[in-house]
Structure 1
Amino acid sequence: MITDYLSFLDARLPGLVAGAHLYGSRVLDDVVADSDLDVVVEVSRLVEVPSFEGADVTVVLAGSLERPVSDVTPLAGEVTPVLWQQLRTVGQTVRGTRPSCPLDDGDVEAYCRANLVEYWDRLFTAVRAMPSLTRGDILWVGLGPARLWHTIRTGEIVSKSRAGELAAARWPDLPLLDVVAARRDPSVSLTASHAQAAVDLFDRIRADVTT
């Protein structure tokens, strides 16, 4: 897919794509049926990068990945300490030079802690009020916070599936391996018990990272 995407860009922006770097599920060995192509594109000048179905694209000016994330304003998408950490550790450069993505000590942990409060706390307030959750809802809320939990504890960026496995090992009474299996296999059923497990997991994560 990345080859097709770069060919698409080169045909529309000839000579302007200076770098391309993969991150996310394709470098974390966690590709499932609906996985996007997560890619950071470096362009040599200000330009609008056309959309491409199935690609989640962050666009920056060439050289931006050698600067602290707080100094970078993307042309499209979002830049975060977690993205910088992925690119500098597990990211795959498919065009250009592998970036250094400098980070200050504690940037990644601070971002993850803030995200737990600013995004996930608010989301779970809504989740608790819902009479039921869809399969997609359960997969999202059941695995997303686990990734932050692991990164806060270790600094390591892992996939959603791996985070679910790690959380299951920490809290084996919760049916989290079912959620991991359902992410990989659409035939695996999820029920209200799995929705409740997602809520319980979030509460345990919040307690675990604040002790």
Structure 2
Amino acid sequence: MITPGDYLDLLDARLPGLVVGAHVYGSRVLDDVVADSDLDIVIELASPASVPAVPGADVAVVLAGSLEKPVFDVTPLSGEITPVLWQQLRTVGQTVRGTRPTCPGTAADVEAYCRDNLISYWKLDFDRFREVLPTLDPEQPIGRDALLWVGLGPSRLWHTIRTGDIISKSQAGELAAQRWPDLAPRILDLVASRRGEDRHLVVDHGRASLEVFDRILADVTT
């Protein structure tokens, strides 16, 4: 698992003098690091340059000064930037080089992004799964990585829409299990698997994830 220090050493060797800011977010600052966690990091460069891809690092690259502007006014050099990322950086992000950014934005921007993302991104995936679900054996094994992504991701957006706070995937799963106790055993299996426990994940876990998503949509649109 690559560390921020290791990653910056690599960048400094490739791009001497150009990396003027580095800010960590995601699982490293949300107390949710697991064995396969990426390093989520935003890099500020003094001038445009190509940042090499590094396994285990999920990187957004911007020009120096960009993090003092609203996200909608910034075009990244590479990677994706969103209102949710801006909020993480200004609240819980960890600056490991440079000055802590202000990342201006509003709660309304964050909520609007989360609501749109539920429909424009997540609903498409779940609708495809909904079509094939009746043809699958509920006890058939299912891919762990994809299941954890779809099973825990929407719950994070649900919590942010309701409260404005950004939380980890594991905490989001725990809160969804509390909210919908009839689905809790399957949801908590996903949280346990994310944390490295050996859980037998099957299609029925996917069905529960679909049901959670449908309930989230109902909860945030009423």
**Could you state the TM-score of these two structures normalised by the residue count of structure 1?**
0.97
Identity %: 67
Q: Write the distance in 2 (CA, Å) between the matches of 1:74 and 1:129.
A: 36
Instruction: Show the counterpart of 1:113.
Output: 115
Instruction: Show the counterpart of 1:48.
Output: 50
From 184, 187, 195, the counterpart of 1:184: 195
Q: Is the CA contact 2:107–2:164 (under 8 Å) kept in the aligned structure 1?
A: no
Instruction: Show the counterpart of 1:82.
Output: 84
Which ranges in structure 1 are unaligned for 5 or more consecutive residues? none
From 205, 208, 211, the counterpart of 2:219: 208
Q: Deviations over 1:108-151 (max 9, x none)?
A: 00000000010011110111133364222221111010000000
Q: Write the distance in 1 (CA, Å) between the matches of 2:145 and 2:8.
A: 30
RMSD: 1.1
Q: Write the distance in 1 (CA, Å) between the matches of 2:56 and 2:90.
A: 24
**Correspondence list, 1:1-211, <5 A:** 1-130=3-132, 131=136, 133-174=142-183, 175=185, 176-211=187-222
Q: Deviations over 1:7-27 (max 9, x none)?
A: 001111111100000000111
Aligned partner of 1:126: which letter? R
Q: Deviations over 1:147-184 (max 9, x none)?
A: 00000001100010000011111111102111111111
Indicate the larger mover: 38-47 or 191-200: 191-200
The list of structure 1 runs, each at least 4 consecutive aligned residues, that deviate by more than 6 angstroms after superposition, is none
Aligned partner of 1:20: which letter? A
Aligned partner of 2:37: which letter? S
Which ranges in structure 2 are unaligned for 5 or more consecutive residues? none
Q: Secondary structure at the match of 1:106?
A: helix
**Could you state the TM-score of these two structures normalised by the residue count of structure 2?**
0.92
Indicate the larger mover: 189-198 or 36-45: 189-198
Aligned partner of 2:124: which letter? R
Aligned partner of 2:178: which letter? A
